[in-house]
Amino acid sequence: MNLPWLTILILVPLFGGIIVAGVGAEQRRLARGLTLAFSLVGLTGALCLWQHFNAASGELQFVERHDWVPSLGIQYFLGVDGLGLLMVMLTAIVVPLSILASWRIDDRAHIYDALVLWLQAGLFGTFTALNFFHWFLFWELVLIPAFFLIKLWGGPKRGPAATQFFIYTMVGSVTLLLSFLAIRLATGSFDFIELANMAKRGEITAKLGDAIGWQSHIGLLVFFGAFLGFAVKVPVVPFHTWLPGAYTEAPSPVTMLLTGVMSKMGVYGFLRILLPIFPEQMRLVLTPLMWLAVLTIVLSACTAFAQRDLKRILAYSSINHLGYCLLALFAVTGAAAGVNQPELQKAAALDGVLLQMFNHGLTASSLFLFVWLIEKRSGGLRGLEDFGGIRKIVPVFTGLMGIALFSSLGLPGLNGFVGEFLIFKGVFPLAPWAAALSTIGLLVTAVFLLTLIQRVFCGPLNGRWAQMPDLTRRERLLVAVPIVLMFVLGIWPQLVLGTVDATVVKMVQQLNF
């Protein structure tokens, strides 16, 4: 059974996309069916991986490694640990949901579907490739379908939104690329694992200084280049301004993908690349980084409170939720002097980060799914003030979306709670001031989500919606999947934590020196 499973997993949607694009516009149903089939094959593959994954080991598994361009140090290098596997699972779950949600998008459906499948291939690749060249290929591959999905199927201001999204991300990618070229020049390696080991021995900064000059400054410069690449993607305030536009203008099924999985690419980059390769530099600028994380959390929550468009509210809330991941990420790089059992706290915080990534992917994408369902009923209206009192008309919808909103708010018993709890449990002893300030974010989030519930579902009924149909059976089935998962993970987070535990322990060890 030594088949190259990860390669197959990536190739299925890649070739699936080509096949679907070739089906042509006339046979829309066939294209749709094939797309769903390919994405379900992806899901099955991911489940098989999960089944065969040895959770007791934090090492890379399903490794494939071949020489590619030896003279440039490029290898074909795939593998997953708990982190990679979790992200592959998330992708495999969110993509079919998004495809089902977009079932009624009829304009050039075959192209739309092909783009979604290519996006999935890019995501699978990003989360499994471990050589910079190989990884960057997929990192950028994701961008093109995302751009066109926004540009061609988006809302009224899709053009500027897509361009802004693309340019921002590309600026980040270019600085990231330049940084890695400097690293390759200095160390002779593109291999993330090898680079992490070098960083652990403290060699990278010295080598950069030798190869390029400017002694310690070059290390910081290279770090900032790489940082920018991921910071734009997550996004970190103040590099977030592309996000509200892109999330709002994209059709909601695409927003599901953007927020559900693509935003995780940034956090994944922090965990896989920045943290292991630049621990020295991160420590040097730790305080400003912590401030950035706090700022991200608080500002985005406050901005969300001021929004009047459901999608914009959720977009800012998405920045807010990933802010907690960043907070924990930065906190664990600190030296943690004088902290009782720092390894335990760091492990808790990192466990929280991984859990939060998965949970946010699930919750945020299902929230956008709900917005999509309500948009379809209201003819595109989605202002906070456009509705009112519809809980009597659409009780099932109200109940289910309420569950998702409470999950996002972090209600105990639902999935959102566990991740945020672990993050705060870990961060409080490591950086008390930052954790304390960040709780403002929690508070404001509660306020704006409750406001949302109040304005949309409660109060006097807006007469326009007296005839609004409730969820159909198919729609109920569709939303049931994420809702059930929310409960399952809320009650039994061990399902995820068990998979990532060994990986987290290894990450913490990697950071201790």
Partner 1 sequence: MLAWTIYISFIGVLVLMLLPREAARAARIIALLTAIAGCAVAFVGAMQQANPGEVITIVKVPWIPSLGANYFLAADGISLVLVVLTGLAAIAGILFSWNIEKRTKEFFAYYLALIGGVYGVFLSFDVLLLFVFYELTIIPKYFLIARWGSTRKEYGAMKLALYSFVGSHLVLIGLIAAWVVARAQTGHATLDLMELSKVSFPLGFQHWVFPLVFVGFGILAGLWPFHTWAPTGHVAAPTAGSMLLAGVVMKLGAYGCLRVAMVLFPDGARMWQGEIAALAVIGIIYGAGVALVQKDFKFVIGYSSVSHMGFVLLGLATLNTIGLSGAVLQMFSHGIIAGLLFAVVGRMVYDRTHTRDFNDLQTMQLGKLLPFAGVTFVLAGVASMGLPGFSGFVAELQVLMGAWKVFPKTTMLAGVGIVAGVAYTLRAVQKAFYSDAVVPEKSGHDHPLEPISMPERIGAVMLITASLVIGLFPGLLLNWIQPCLNSPLFERLLKGGLL
Distance CA(504)–CA(389), nearest Å, equals 45
Would you say 60 and 72 are in contact if contact means Cβ atoms under 8 Å apart? no
How far is the CA of 242 from the CAs of 55, 248, 252, 382, in angstroms?
Answer: 37, 10, 16, 20
**Cβ at position 152, least distance to partner 1 in Å:** 7
Q: Is 53 or 133 the residue whose CB approaches partner 1 more closely?
A: 133
Spell out the residues 6+ positions from residue 21 whose beta carbon is closer than 8 angstroms to its own: 110, 111, 114
Would you say 56 and 96 are in contact if contact means Cβ atoms under 8 Å apart? no
Which secondary-structure segment (H or E) carries 77? strand 74-80
**Cβ at position 64, least distance to partner 1 in Å:** 16
The total of other beta-carbon atoms located within 10 Å of residue 81's CB is: 23
Q: Is 184 or 264 the residue whose CB approaches partner 1 more closely?
A: 184
**Cβ at position 215, least distance to partner 1 in Å:** 12
**Cβ at position 432, least distance to partner 1 in Å:** 38
**Cβ at position 350, least distance to partner 1 in Å:** 30
The stretches of 379-431 forming alpha helices (DSSP H) are 395-409, 415-430
Q: Is 27 or 494 the residue whose CB approaches partner 1 more closely?
A: 27
Q: Helix, strand, coil proportions of the chain in percent (round to 5)? A: 75, 5, 20
Paired tokens of 161? 């939104």
DSSP 131: B
Q: Is 213 or 338 the residue whose CB approaches partner 1 more closely?
A: 213
Q: Is 21 or 63 the residue whose CB approaches partner 1 more closely?
A: 21
Q: Is 70 or 463 the residue whose CB approaches partner 1 more closely?
A: 70
Residue from 292, 291, 286 nearest 238 by CA: 292
**Cβ at position 69, least distance to partner 1 in Å:** 5
**Cβ at position 110, least distance to partner 1 in Å:** 11
Q: Is 225 or 493 the residue whose CB approaches partner 1 more closely?
A: 225
Q: Is 156 or 460 the residue whose CB approaches partner 1 more closely?
A: 156
Amino acid code (one letter) for 373: L
Helix axis angle, 473-491 to 342-378, nearest 10°: 170
Q: Is 137 or 491 the residue whose CB approaches partner 1 more closely?
A: 137
The total of other beta-carbon atoms located within 10 Å of residue 262's CB is: 24
Would you say 93 and 44 are in contact if contact means Cβ atoms under 8 Å apart? no
Would you say 220 and 288 are in contact if contact means Cβ atoms under 8 Å apart? no
Spell out the residues 6+ positions from residue 106 whose beta carbon is closer than 8 angstroms to its own: 28
Residue from 137, 142, 34 nearest 87 by CA: 142
Amino acid code (one letter) for 13: P
Q: Is 151 or 506 the residue whose CB approaches partner 1 more closely?
A: 151
Distance CA(365)–CA(247), nearest Å, equals 11
Contact residues for partner 1, defined by CB under 8 A: 68-72, 133, 136-137, 140-141, 143-144, 148, 151-152, 158-159, 163, 166-167, 170-171, 174-175, 177-178, 181-182, 184-185, 211-214, 218
Q: Is 159 or 413 the residue whose CB approaches partner 1 more closely?
A: 159
**Cβ at position 49, least distance to partner 1 in Å:** 25
**Cβ at position 21, least distance to partner 1 in Å:** 9
The stretches of 188-249 forming alpha helices (DSSP H) are 192-200, 204-212, 215-233, 242-249
Residue from 73, 80, 69, 71 nearest 7 by CA: 80
**Cβ at position 296, least distance to partner 1 in Å:** 24
Beta strands (DSSP E) in 17-160 are 61-69, 74-80
Spell out the residues 6+ positions from residue 71 whose beta carbon is closer than 8 angstroms to its own: none
**Cβ at position 74, least distance to partner 1 in Å:** 8
Q: Is 115 or 422 the residue whose CB approaches partner 1 more closely?
A: 115
Angle formed at CA 312 by CA 368 and CA 399, multiple of 5 degrees = 40
**Cβ at position 144, least distance to partner 1 in Å:** 6
